[in-house]
Amino acid sequence: MKLKALLAKAGISIPSESHPALEQEVKGLTTNSIACQSGDLFLGMPGTRVDGGEFWPNAIASGAVAAFICETAAEKTQDRITAEH
């Protein structure tokens, strides 16, 4: 299923500007950035010791289509967010 279709089914609004990732096929889900494979959707969840969302750059580098992370993780890793992310 394409990322944009998955987001729509989840009731998540898509920004008006297009991003190439929205057209990518999501082949799997993972919460482990190290085990992430090409086509996966990374789910970075906050934990009791560490926020998994802070590892989104590793997931993207491993081929993740996109990463869902909390606002806190986005703020902590803001210096790593670029236009292509």
Q: Are 66 and 39 in contact (CB under 8 A)?
A: no
User: What's the rounded Cα separation, in Å, for the pair 29 and 7?
Assistant: 13
Q: What is the pLDDT of residue 41?
A: 97
User: Could you tell me the pLDDT band of residue 1, with boundaries at 50, 70 and 90?
Assistant: very high
State pLDDT tens for residues 15-58: 777 888 899 999 999 999 999 999 999 999 999 999 999 999 99
Q: What is the pLDDT of residue 85?
A: 54
How do the domains of the chain map onto residue ranges? 26-85
State pLDDT tens for residues 50-83: 999 999 999 999 999 999 999 989 888 887 766 5
CATH code, residues 26-85: 3.40.1390.10
Cα dihedral sign, 75-79-83-85: negative
Full-model pTM: 0.85
